[in-house]
Structure 1
Amino acid sequence: MTHIVRIFCAVLALCAAARLAAGQEVVFEEWHYHQPGDLLYDEGVHTAGVILEDFSFAIMVLDAEGKNTAIGAVIPGTDFQDSVTSTLTMTDGSARTLTVTGDQLRRERPKAPGMVSYSFFLSDEDVELFQAARDWTLQAGDQKATFPLAGSRIAVDAAREAQKISAGGPEVRDEWIATCDAAAAHPYDGESPVPGVAWDDMDAETATTACLNAYAAGDVLPRIRYELGRAYDKGGDSRAFELLTKAARDDHYPIAYNALATLYGTGTYTIRDLAAAHELLEQGTALGDMVSGYSLGRMLIERGTGPDEIERGRALLLDAAEAGYPPAQRIYGQWLVDGTLGAGDPLQAKSFLEKAALTGDASAAFALAQLYIGDSGLDPDPKAYLKYLKLAAKGGNEAALEALSLD
């Protein structure tokens, strides 16, 4: 019952302000299985529940070991009652009523005025009845709330499937962690043991399913929290903001700082805040994350307030380029050529752009082609120009495709 109490006490204040939560959309009147990032999600148990428009809510909690299931509700009220009446109204109109009292009943006062919570354990038979019923009414003296049970069968079954994963032991957990890594790891995550998947190659549905199952297995690694956030973001799921916030601010997972900074910098799922993005990139860079260092370098060059910041940005970009990060190689090479970094070395630009192009960076291949037109410090080379223009076009670069069509 401990998890139920924690959920009721911690979540009610969030529910009261749910409409203001960044990126959160509250769906009323229908049961849902709670996943990471959802309003009523609680790590370590598996839950399904429903929220009413007055922010009363009912929730069914399955423990990770599969031993206990409990039902509870937070309803309007000021005084506790010694007993409650639980009534299930079936689809044929018949009712099943029971009274819960004494040690069977848990009562808590959530951190919100005018609300009380009651909870109690259910048998397997009771769970089946809940899933089959039309609605559930909880009455405590004059206090009463009726919760529709639409969607409860699908939601509770999903919680049961997650419960099976968490009860599967270390081998099942390791299997799902490996599957999540394979589907959602960042190719340049210094903490990851796998090669990773480029953003454009990620399948959002596959990655999300794998990482949700890794989450359900329990003892969640910071890496898995970040990868689930990345999978959510790939699918345009606003829950990415909460997952990446936890991975960065709570877990201090290095590359998560860059991911969260990107959301703040673009105003994705939240209000655009460049100061917050800058702060996050500084933290990620301090932890040794190459991608954060690259992003911070770009920010300092593009938005720097003076020569010292621009010089620091150049150094950070160069570090990332020399470490083999293709976007840094491409940008550094391009900016050497176009003068953004001041007087540039065309041979150094050529070297970085070649390395990025060989990794499949179509934009780098196109920039490399431009070096061979002339006026770049390198001798014109029509064959090299055409070679890299075709490589860029093969990678889908629109400017290269247009140039080839004109040629």
Structure 2
Amino acid sequence: MFWIGDLFLGIHPAIYAFRPPWRSIVVAAFMLAAMPTQLAHAQQAKSAALVIANTTYAALPADKDAASDAKTIVDALKVIGFEVEMVSNVTKADMAQAISATKARLGKGATLLVYYAGHALQFDQKNYLAPVDLKLARAAELPTAGIALEQLLDDLGGRPSASTIVIIDAAEKNPLAGGKIADADSISDGLARVTSLPSGTLLAYSAAPGSVATKTGNYASALAAAFKARGKGLDTVLKMTRARVVVSSGGNQIPWETTALQQSVILYPEEDKPVAEEPNACDLSAGHPSDPERVGPSVDYANLDPQIAIPACEKAVATEPGNMRFKVELARALDKAGRGEEAAVLNAEAMKANYIGAYHNMGNLYRKGLGVEQNLEKAFDLYLYAAERGHPEDQSNVGFMYMRGDGVAKDYQKARFWFEKAAAQNWATAYDKLGLLYLNGWGVGKDPDRAFAEFGKGANLGDAPSLVNYANCLKDGVGTRKDARRAYQYYTQAAHLGSQAAYINLGFLNLSGEGTEKNLTEAAFWFTLSSREGNEEAQKRLNQVNAILSDSEKQKLQERLDQWSRRRFG
């Protein structure tokens, strides 16, 4: 079954997952305690930076660009007022000492920026910075010989009322490839996506997870130039950097970041202007992932709790009636509560003030027919207005509506144009849709290899449909060699993100023993989850498996289902 929305296209059992694009795809933790909007001023705490350049290695090729890239960043940070410490060619012990010394000189509430240029290796979906004394006999030694990125983030992050920015300029092909160690192939190109960050931390890569930087020095120079844009928030700085790199690399390198920041950070503030704006309870309970003016972390639509968000946002609107961000966040919470008419009034007010996020919200209402008469043409026009002004989710929405012919004449060429726009901003679901275009030959020549690559980009960003479609390609040998074991791994990742398509595929793989050991109890588990979502084929298979399970196996199945429910729902 090849899923596009509610349409079946293709052959069972490969299920190409699709999620309605107006739903947010980013899942972020959010705080529930009420917090007033606060401004942190430049004189309160001096921003500090640690810049690390590893160029000469004992057992790895030299990274000849690391020193010049690091100097480019040091010079820019000094211009914008950071206290900068630069260290070069650090061992693992040197790194620990540098981190400790940097933390010791931080004032309360200070912004910390750490930039690393050098080799970094991905092993078993984990990242390790390479100290210059790194020596490996086999890849499995990396967790002890390398510097674990997640541990580094934990060491740096979690400082109350402060922000930590970690930038890794090390997206490269495996530097140990070519037989330098026996199991070099187990080290992957590029960096792995990090799914959990300490509170108040942002992590940025010079290229998206799993991909490789294509031009040396382009990320550091673009980042340094963006740093010097006075009065710009960090999200804007990184967006400016990404735009420059996309252009300079011909679209082949797309920088990436993930965030758990609790405030909007301005690295180079205007004179006597704030360096950070902290989110209040409304931002924390209803902030939209794709709102270009969002402050603080975002909340996925599925996780938005109207009982918390509505009173928090009503209070924020009453306190600052001229702040359109709060009105749009309240509208979003009212939308989730089914109170579309009230949401439409607030969105209309914010649209008059040209708040771009309001156009997105109103487009959603017209698409669903909530509080307004359903009108796909109107929804398309609203999305297009926001898309033309750089809103990544609406660029993807416009592409989707062109692809489907919803509210506009079907046009695969225009769909591809807008999906590529959204993908250039790392809007993950756009990669999935580009993969579908190339897989099916919609508006382009059929290109399974390109489809597989696009699905992989979305999978690296944690998009559940991309993960499923990437797994389908691996399972069926589409655009790549067959690899049922890897397919099983990607289906499992998608399943933990709630993908119904992943559930049934995992059921079939456990039933057949393809990519994993044959396990009827595990097959029944996944078929049960799929059948709960209304999948008739899964229910049929579940009945067949249940008929041959022993009582003890059925008991294990129930325990497995209970464990799943506790993990997902508390």
* Structure 2 CA distance for aligned equivalents of residues 398 and 216 of structure 1: 41
* 1:321-359 deviations in Å (ceiling 9; x for gaps): 121112212222233223334324444433433343344
Q: Quick one: distance in 1 between partners of 2:289 and 2:383?
A: 18
| CA spacing shift, 1:208–1:372, aligned 2, 3 Å | same
Residues 310 and 360 from structure 1, CA distance in 2 versus in 1: closer, same or farther, beyond 3 angstroms?
closer
Superposition map of 1:12-31 within 5 A:
none
Q: Point out 4+ residue stretches in structure 1 off by more than 6 angstroms.
A: 304-307
Distance 1:198 1:220 in 2: 25
Q: Who wins on radius of gyration, i.e. which is larger?
A: 1
Between the aligned partners of 1:402 and 1:312, the Cα distance in structure 2 is: 33
For residue 376 of structure 1, give the secondary structure of its aligned residue in structure 2: coil
- Residue type of the alignment partner of 1:372: L
Q: Distance in 2 between matches of 1:357 and 1:372?
A: 13
Task: Report whether the alignment pairs 1:252 with 2:328.
Answer: no
Q: List per-residue Cα deviations over 1:210-256 (Å, max 9, x = no partner).
A: 111101103431111111111111122222222223222x1221122
Name the stretch that deviates more: 358-367 or 323-332.
Answer: 358-367
Corresponding position: 1:241 with 2:241? no
More strand by share: 1
Residue 284 (1) aligns with residue 386 (2): yes
Q: Residue 366 of structure 1 is aligned with which of 438, 454, 468?
A: 468
2:522 maps to none
1:217 is aligned to 2:319: yes
- Cα distance between partner residues in 1 of 2:334 and 2:493: 32
Which residue of 319, 323, 326 maps to 2:428?
326
Deviation at 1:404, TM superposition (A): 1.9
Secondary structure at the aligned position of 1:372 is classed as helix
Contact 1:363–1:392, Cα closer than 8 Å, also in 2:
yes
| SS of equivalent residue, structure 1 residue 373 | helix
**Is 1:376 the equivalent of 2:481?**
no
Following superposition, the deviation at residue 391 of structure 1 comes to 1.1
Aligned 8 A contact 1:182 1:197 in 2: yes
Matched residue count:
231
**Alignment-derived partner of residue 182 in structure 1:** 284
8 A contact 2:475–2:483 mirrored in 1 = yes
- Contact 1:261–1:276 (CA under 8 A) maintained in structure 2: yes
Whether 1:198 aligns to 2:300 is yes
Partner of 1:159: none
| Mapped contact 2:338–2:370 kept (Cα < 8 A) | no
Give the AA of the match of 2:459: A
Deviation at 1:262, TM superposition (A): 1.8
Q: Distance in 2 between matches of 1:202 and 1:360?
A: 20
Structure scoring higher RCO (CA < 8 A, sep ≥ 6) equals 2
- Using the alignment, how far apart are the partners of 1:246 and 1:350 within structure 2? 43
Deviations 1:181-216 (A, max 9, x none): 111111121122323111122222111121111011
Quick one: which of 432, 437, 444 aligns to 1:335? 437
Identity among equivalent pairs (%): 27
Unaligned ranges ≥5, structure 2: 1-276, 511-570
Deviation string 1:72-113 (CA, Å, 9 cap, x unpaired) is xxxxxxxxxxxxxxxxxxxxxxxxxxxxxxxxxxxxxxxxxx
The alignment's TM-score, normalised by the length of structure 2, stands at 0.38
Out of 363, 370, 374, the position equivalent to 1:272 is: 374
Name the CA distance, whole Å, in 1 between partners of 2:462 and 2:306.
21
Deviations 1:359-385 (A, max 9, x none): 443222111111112352221111111
Q: 1:226 aligns with which of 328, 344, 363?
A: 328
Unaligned runs of 5+ in 1: 1-173
Q: 1:223 to 1:347 in 2, by over 3 A?
A: farther
Secondary structure in structure 2 of the residue aligned to 1:261: helix
- Name the CA distance, whole Å, in 2 between partners of 1:236 and 1:359: 30
Which residue number corresponds to residue 402 of structure 2?
300
Q: Are the structure 2 counterparts of residues 183 and 375 from structure 1 closer, same or farther at C-alpha, using a change threshold of 3 Å?
A: same
Work out whether residues 284 and 296 of structure 2, in 8 Å CA contact, stay in contact via their aligned partners in 1.
yes
Change (3 A) 1:348 1:243: farther
Cα distance change of structure 1 residues 261 and 306 upon mapping to structure 2, 3 Å threshold: closer
Structure 2 vs 1, CA of residues 365 and 210 (structure 1 numbering), >3 Å: closer, same or farther?
A: same
Q: Distance in 2 between matches of 1:283 and 1:259?
A: 12
| Match among 379, 393, 401 for residue 495 of structure 2 | 393
Question: For 1:339-354, what aligned pairs fall within 5 Å after superposition?
Answer: 339-354=441-456
- Tell me how far apart the structure 2 counterparts of residues 380 and 241 of structure 1 sit (CA, whole Å): 49
Query: If the length of structure 1 is used for normalisation, what is the TM-score?
Result: 0.52
The one-letter code matched in structure 2 to 1:246 is E
Secondary structure, counterpart of 1:225 in structure 2: helix
What's the Cα RMSD here? 2.3
